[in-house]
Amino acid sequence: MCPEQIRDHARETTMSEHDEPATYDVRAAQDKWLPVWDRLQPFRADDDSPREKKYALTMFPYPSGDLHMGHAEVTALHDVIARYWWQRGYEVLNPMGWDSFGLPAENAAIRNDEHPATYTYANIETQYESFRRYGISFDWSRRLHTSDPEYYRWTQWLFLKFRERGLAYRKNSPVNWCPNDQTVLANEQVVDGRCERCGAEVTKRELTQWYFKITEYAQELLDELDNLEATWPARVVAAQRNWIGRSEGAHVSFAIDGRDEPVTVYTTRPDTIFGTTFMVIAVDSALADDLVTDAQRPAFEAYREEIRKETEMERLSTDRPKTGVDLGVTATNPVTAEQIPVWATDYVLADYGTGAVMGVPGGDQRDWEFATEFGLPIVRTTQTPDDWEGEAFHGEGPAINSPAPGAAAPLDINGLGVADAKRATIDFLEQRGSGTGAVNFRLRDWLLSRQRYWGVPIPVIHCAKDGEVAVPYDQLPLELPELRGADLKPKGVSPLAAAEDWVNVECPTCGGPATRDSDTMDTFVDSSWYFLRFCSPGYTDGPFDVAKANAWMAADIYVGGVEHAVLHLLYARFFTKVLRDMGMLEVGEPFAAQLNQGFVINQGKKMSKSLGNGVNLGDQLAEFGVDAVRLTLVFAGPPEDDIDWADMSPAGSLRFLQRAWRLSGDVTSAVGTSPEGGDVALRRVTARTVHDAAELVEAYRFNVVIARVMELVNATRKAIDSGSGPADPAVREAAEAVAVLLSLVAPYTAEEMWERLGHQPTVARAGWPAVDPALLVEESVVAVVQIQGKVRARLEVSPDISEADLEQLALADADVVRAIDGREVRKVIVRAPKLVNVVV
RNA sequence: GCCCCGGUAGCCCAACGGCAGAGGCAGUGGUCUCAAACACCAUCCAGUGUGGGUUCGAAUCCCACCCGGGGCACCA
């Protein structure tokens, strides 16, 4: 298609014979209503409103370039809910801001030899203008940016408060390192051994870093998911449960030959302890280093060196042979008193449990492979099923060899099922003082230090004499030094460390020479509390006004991408719980309900530059207008499903909007005319549509709402053209309902309709149409008569017909009599007023 | 391997355990036009992934399997 042939749908205005425009000018409408809305400020949330409050939250974006299809989809869906609440008479808080710290700005700054703020704030302005034209009902007076000093001042304040409570601490440990971005990564940011952001293979480094003690809240974070199950997407709840990864088992102490301290292992299967034929320790743990004998040290260190060179990718591949080194010491099985060898290996993780595991090859496949590799004995402790052909068996079955036949042991669990055997073993260990029941979590503490510039400086000073010293609260915000371009190039240490004027300071305690912490915070810290700041964005006496936060929180809906299922959502939940424990919040969960939108894809594939299948939002908006694009995204299907743009028809959406708009021009009755006495059939459709639309919006079934509005438009069109005519007050009632319902998704079209119907702006605050309950009851319904489940007749009956009357009527019907054909009626099921089923 | 979600016309999607179709896209036929595009009007189209079960009656509930999407995974 050559460019001249591309039709300009949005601008097109055709005239009918009566000089009555058949379509309205989409672009002119956009230009016309934006200033009106600016003047009316219909979506400004009033903290002191007597109306019931609703908090409609959608994930704030990172300012990279202009808005794209993904932003368009999530905000269009979100806006249906926010605008619906306004129409229903709630006071709605619907704020927006930017998550404006982060790596892309820093990389752009290096590329262009400029300050990251230049890129950041230019993009924010671009996105802000696009959002405005896109007509989302945001309260712009509450706009915030996490990179503003007046915002990150409070991020630093919260960090210091967390630190005072022992929830922010430094420790030295092997951490995930992205060699490309030259910074550490949280566990959550490593996906399949690669950096979530850039895809580089992640390696390990031994570093001293800041952590948030999220593990202290692991149990509560898990427990509260039960209460969120009804209102959060199942996949998010499942993902968080998986990530927290609670397991129940026992700590068991093994005495070590020639060492005072025993070694404690964590196991989920204490009942298999009789099958423990060796012990394995994480090779990269301090414990392994401590246990190894002088004779074995050279072999151990060589092995450890070999392992350190591996990337995460290599370590995670499960199909390679097991490796390890004998540490040269022996441990004593506390139940059998047997001496077993102690090995170091890389298949045991240093930072989970105790970093040491009892090797039970009969019950654990990894141990089986290790035992096979090194010729260690294998003892089964659970009876395998008759048809078992596998190796290690971890299923249900009676305990065997516990103890082995003929062997003497102070404990005997033979014959017990797994659960009973576990309990008996733990009881025994507890009595002996060599073990205890224990719970473990997969969740690790949250590594928050980043060796980059464009983030929140960690407000701590390191002094040779006083150690870690907090920057005094009255010196916050601790602002970033002015660095740009080449200063920001990744060097493996934070660029802040090289800013000598900034990093060298006097110790606040002793006045001696000291240095600032040169790392910045993970940007997930910024987004863990922004929804609280929105409740009082200008507040200067704390991160937020406690009374206002308590008035608005929790958010009644949080709309956003499922890619944040564990990261952001888990961190935000953690922050909320800590703030509650600090007495600053009443709620312990930030998001009462949640909705995840799907992706916008094209031709069955994710949009990408390399595939060349990207759909540009700006082009779509220019061609079809804001309303048609929004309508297309909302109508496409259930919100959580992916939308394939190739299957969609924004032109069809625009056609529908024009059809709807045309109704408003056809209405001839005066504004304010009572619908009483209007065509009852149409009034019923209107009432039913308005009534059902409310339920459908609340169930997030926006696509069905649109379908129902289309039906209403069709019914109204018919009434005008071939029914009661344009002067019927029922037609006005219907057209006005269409305008209000459309205001949830097509604000410009709805406003045009509302004006043409003789009303003042803005339709967005017109209020939900009143529904006469009498109109929801049908005058007559069609009852279906089935013979053997097949429909044989239809009867028009009153909706409140009795079952007996309906049965009688059905059996008397000529078609029914013919269908029964003299056979004996064995049973008649009657479901008045809809159905009769005759069984013969 | 374990756990979640989903399979309905050519396509996107509807359907309190009760007539499989609400809406849209595409298609087809008309109206308009010198002709076409746009627009408008009309119309065609499946028995619900497979196999069992429960029920008077199953797209819907239960079981198994297949396919697709997602989460966790050397976490002891």
* A727 CB inside 7 Å of strand B: no
Q: Which nucleotide is nearest to A16 (CA to C1')?
A: B39
Residues lying close to strand B (Cβ under 7 A), chosen from 588-627 of chain A, are none
pLDDT score recorded for residue A435? 93
Backbone angles phi, psi at A603, to 5 degrees: 55, 45
A763 CA to B59 C1' distance (Å) = 39
* A722 CB inside 7 Å of strand B: no
Alpha-carbon separation of residue A311 from A34, A201, A202, A308, A401 (angstroms): 54, 7, 6, 8, 40
Give A429-475 pLDDT, tens digit per residue: 999 999 999 999 999 999 999 988 999 999 999 999 999 999 999 99
pLDDT score recorded for residue A382? 92
Buried b (16+ CB within 10 A) or exposed e, A751-782: bbbbbbbebebbbbebebbebeeebeeeeebe
* A704 CB inside 7 Å of strand B: yes
A150 CA to B7 C1' distance (Å) = 51
A794 CA to B56 C1' distance (Å) = 18
Mean pLDDT by 10 residues, chain A (840 residues): 36 42 86 96 96 96 92 95 97 98 91 94 97 96 97 98 97 84 81 80 85 94 90 89 91 93 94 95 93 96 88 70 94 93 93 92 92 94 83 88 89 92 94 93 92 95 94 95 86 85 94 94 95 97 97 95 87 97 96 92 80 86 94 93 88 93 93 92 93 94 94 93 90 96 96 95 96 84 78 79 84 82 81 81
CA separation for the pair A308, A787 (Å, rounded): 76
Backbone angles phi, psi at A749, to 5 degrees: -60, -45
Buried b (16+ CB within 10 A) or exposed e, A63-101: beeebbbbbbbbbbbbbbbbbbbbbeebbbbbbbbbbbb
pLDDT score recorded for residue A3? 30
Alpha-carbon separation of residue A263 from A56, A271, A290, A332 (angstroms): 52, 19, 11, 10
Q: Which nucleotide is nearest to A359 (CA to C1')?
A: B76
Q: Which nucleotide is nearest to A658 (CA to C1')?
A: B39
Nucleotides of B under 7 A from a protein CB: 3-5, 11-16, 18-20, 22-26, 37-41, 56-58, 69-76
The protein residue nearest nucleotide B74, judged by CA to C1', is: A347
* A567 CB inside 7 Å of strand B: no
Half-sphere exposure of A249 (CA within 13 A, CB side): 21
Residues lying close to strand B (Cβ under 7 A), chosen from 142-201 of chain A, are 191
A618 CA to B72 C1' distance (Å) = 38
Question: How crowded is residue A17: how many other Cβ atoms within 10 Å of its Cβ?
Answer: 6
* A117 CB inside 7 Å of strand B: no
Token pair recorded at residue A700? 């997030």
DSSP A145: B
* A7 CB inside 7 Å of strand B: yes
For residues A477 and A152, the answer to whether their CB atoms sit within 8 Å is yes
Contacts with A806 (C-beta within 8 Å, 6 or more apart), sequence order: A783, A795, A797, A830, A832, A833, A836
A635 CA to B7 C1' distance (Å) = 21
Concatenate the DSSP letters of all residues of A736-776 into one string: HHHHHHHTTT-HHHHHHHHHHTTPPS-GGGS-PPP--GGGG
Q: Which nucleotide is nearest to A317 (CA to C1')?
A: B74
A316 CA to B74 C1' distance (Å) = 7
Question: How crowded is residue A671: how many other Cβ atoms within 10 Å of its Cβ?
Answer: 11
A813 CA to B74 C1' distance (Å) = 72
Q: Which nucleotide is nearest to A355 (CA to C1')?
A: B76
Three-state SS for A789?
coil
* A789 CB inside 7 Å of strand B: yes
Residues lying close to strand B (Cβ under 7 A), chosen from 312-331 of chain A, are 315-316, 318, 320, 322
Q: Which nucleotide is nearest to A346 (CA to C1')?
A: B74
Give A104-162 pLDDT, tens digit per residue: 899 899 999 999 999 999 999 999 999 999 999 999 999 999 999 999 999 999 999 99
CA separation for the pair A214, A524 (Å, rounded): 13
Q: Which nucleotide is nearest to A320 (CA to C1')?
A: B74
Q: Which nucleotide is nearest to A267 (CA to C1')?
A: B76
For residues A343 and A278, the answer to whether their CB atoms sit within 8 Å is yes
CA separation for the pair A133, A150 (Å, rounded): 28
pLDDT score recorded for residue A21? 62
Residues lying close to strand B (Cβ under 7 A), chosen from 527-566 of chain A, are 562, 565-566
Q: Which nucleotide is nearest to A794 (CA to C1')?
A: B19
User: Against a cut of 0.90, is the pTM above it?
Assistant: yes
Contacts with A517 (C-beta within 8 Å, 6 or more apart), sequence order: A210, A457, A458, A459, A460, A461, A462
The protein residue nearest nucleotide B2, judged by CA to C1', is: A242
Q: Which nucleotide is nearest to A192 (CA to C1')?
A: B73
Residues lying close to strand B (Cβ under 7 A), chosen from 649-678 of chain A, are 649, 651-652, 655-656, 658-659
Q: Which nucleotide is nearest to A701 (CA to C1')?
A: B14
A734 CA to B31 C1' distance (Å) = 28
A242 CA to B48 C1' distance (Å) = 34
The protein residue nearest nucleotide B5, judged by CA to C1', is: A235
Residues lying close to strand B (Cβ under 7 A), chosen from 359-418 of chain A, are 360, 364, 366
Q: Which nucleotide is nearest to A266 (CA to C1')?
A: B76
* A353 CB inside 7 Å of strand B: yes
* A784 CB inside 7 Å of strand B: yes
CA separation for the pair A124, A317 (Å, rounded): 42
For residues A42 and A764, the answer to whether their CB atoms sit within 8 Å is yes
Three-state SS for A175?
strand
